[in-house]
Structure 1
């Protein structure tokens, strides 16, 4: 039988409430902890199959909805309670969190479907991984119902103040309002979406690094799911290995840090231009997801991109035609009249001596000098 175990956890007494970034991190740790659990041994060695888990983190802790198949309510509750405590203890960051309650509810819809489909063409698959995938969507829908009071617009607007390197004018706000028609409200939503998007982008880039490390391969050979690295120019897919992914992740962290600490001046290298491209896309997706992407906010993001990008020369990298391939062959490793051309080997090379590239990511040498 399929059950939903609702587990409520809280942060240690006296600890400060979790901010947005801490909530993202805690959610990731909980999800990864449960991802490593395929099954749980209940009382008397009874096997409990973990189908899916949905995590919702709030300032004071987290609520987990764990979907399991178990022979009884008691077995499901005992097994999930034990594995939740184990997941918390295995994470040094969450080791002191407290499990406040664990309640098992029969998921009647899934149970009815299972009974009606028994031995029929719609019978649940025997493969646990396939069953887990089928339940994922329904798990998400269940959690969304529990989150009806969530106000994403207010949360995104509250994040805008953290984008300290930019003013409303960067987003097209003018007095009087000009042809862009961007007011302070539209600029605030755009700024907040960039901060929100930065947290999501960095978290997903971390997952991409881990995926390449687990398979010891590059993007071209990766069989697992990738969030962003497979969206980079396809012609270089075989060169996006774990080291590249780590350098790209550090570049994203460094750039978004300068966005939020007030230290940003100009983009430092081509890799930062690509990070910004992903960040703008993530901001659009976030706003569209919550029905907040209207013409005014779109114009605000366009103004921001125009102000921060000095040019759009990097876009040719995404040209998959013959012209793009020819230009890539000419540029890769070649020097132009203004210095190194933007071939793959120069993605982390500073545009100039006055530009910032994180020391971990920066190219030490564009080209090794030849012996005289």
Structure 2
């Protein structure tokens, strides 16, 4: 989930104010480090990812606006504060500066609306999520409900019967749309990271894989056993397959996944949607799993992708067809893009056809 954070940096007590030249120098030092930052581990061991920043220096310090990705509001704030302190410590000339306010920015109107919606009635969002205040949960509900109509391929009944939490099925629909956008962006970044990492070390990107890059998003959520197969071409193929599946969610008349890769893309999307419904929207994990179990029955035609996540595959003889009925152990992950034999659309996109 993306958060906009405003942080204030200040000079040590008793310091003289910065003149114009000193302000420019401080801005240059801060910008250099902010431009270099990738994923950061916060105090709780939770990773946050800064995407963008704006920086404004003044005689008494600086104000920084950060756009970060984090699993919850509190993690975003704590992680951003830890990041800024680390930058100051690594910048000798700014080592004595202090981090003041560092918090997610919400307008007065947004806060008033969130508090008004949290009135204790049955339809008010849950407030029992550790570290997430009621107003943040209320804001997440409004946001996801606003996205729900874009899921045109399924109706509310696809998520099973209504639960005790009002609009929970619509929240689930909105979460799928929200995560589809986020995962597409993250896959673009994964492709770029693989290419840049290989180029920076003068490596052939056909042999550089997710095993060699530490800071990846979606590719590191795919089955770990096959990580050495996730090269640049795989990432591009998976981006295309994922985009095709996610686009079908916004059109009436659902077409089920036509390959293992498409089924896997939908599975990753569902797992991400579950996470934000529990961690940000305050829904009960059991209710969320029940809803998506019903959705899975309606959305998936095959479940071979689940086999890829099994942890006890080392004991399986890859030559034993009975133990490995799908033949995955003998296959390269690039074969996941082959259409299912029973698929109506058996012609792969030209980009998915291996050269040679």
Task: Give me the TM-score of the superposition, normalised by structure 2.
Answer: 0.59
**Residues 166 and 322 of structure 1: is their aligned pair in 2 closer, same or farther, counting only changes over 3 Å?**
closer
SS of corresponding position for 2:301: coil
Please name the residue that 1:204 is paired with: 186
Please name the residue that 1:315 is paired with: 306
SS of corresponding position for 2:276: helix
**Residues 43 and 52 of structure 1: is their aligned pair in 2 closer, same or farther, counting only changes over 3 Å?**
same
**Residues 348 and 207 of structure 1: is their aligned pair in 2 closer, same or farther, counting only changes over 3 Å?**
same
Task: Give me the TM-score of the superposition, normalised by structure 1.
Answer: 0.57
Once the two structures are superposed, residues 108-152 of structure 1 have per-residue CA deviations (whole angstroms, 9 ceiling, x without a partner) of xx9xx99xxxxxxx9952348x98xx97x974x343698745722
Contact 2:151–2:174 under 8 Å retained in 1: yes
Give the Cα separation in 2 of the matches to 1:330 and 1:126.
Answer: 55
Gaps in structure 2 of 5+ consecutive residues: 1-5, 10-19, 36-51, 66-80, 115-135, 199-207
Bigger Rg, structure 1 or 2: 1
Please name the residue that 1:278 is paired with: 268
Contact 1:251–1:272 under 8 Å retained in 2: yes
Contact 1:318–1:324 under 8 Å retained in 2: no
Q: Does 1:355 align with 2:345?
A: yes
**Residues 172 and 326 of structure 1: is their aligned pair in 2 closer, same or farther, counting only changes over 3 Å?**
same
Counterpart of 1:72 (choices 59, 62, 86) is 59
Give the Cα separation in 2 of the matches to 1:277 and 1:238.
Answer: 20
Give the Cα separation in 1 of the matches to 2:106 and 2:34.
Answer: 15
- The number of residue pairs the alignment matches comes to 262
The offset of 1:184, in angstroms, is 7.5
SS of corresponding position for 1:292: coil
Please name the residue that 1:344 is paired with: 333
Counterpart of 1:162 (choices 128, 150, 154) is 150
Contact 1:163–1:259 under 8 Å retained in 2: yes
Please name the residue that 2:259 is paired with: 269
**Residues 143 and 335 of structure 1: is their aligned pair in 2 closer, same or farther, counting only changes over 3 Å?**
same
The offset of 1:320, in angstroms, is 3.3
Q: Does 1:125 align with 2:79?
A: no
The offset of 1:255, in angstroms, is 0.5
**Residues 253 and 145 of structure 1: is their aligned pair in 2 closer, same or farther, counting only changes over 3 Å?**
same
Contact 2:7–2:101 under 8 Å retained in 1: no
Give the Cα separation in 2 of the matches to 1:182 and 1:285.
Answer: 19
Give the Cα separation in 2 of the matches to 1:278 and 1:230.
Answer: 11
Once the two structures are superposed, residues 42-64 of structure 1 have per-residue CA deviations (whole angstroms, 9 ceiling, x without a partner) of 648634232659xxxxxxxxxx9
Q: Please report the RMSD computed on the Cα atoms of aligned residues, expressed in angstroms.
A: 4.4
**Residues 322 and 160 of structure 1: is their aligned pair in 2 closer, same or farther, counting only changes over 3 Å?**
closer
Contact 2:151–2:173 under 8 Å retained in 1: yes
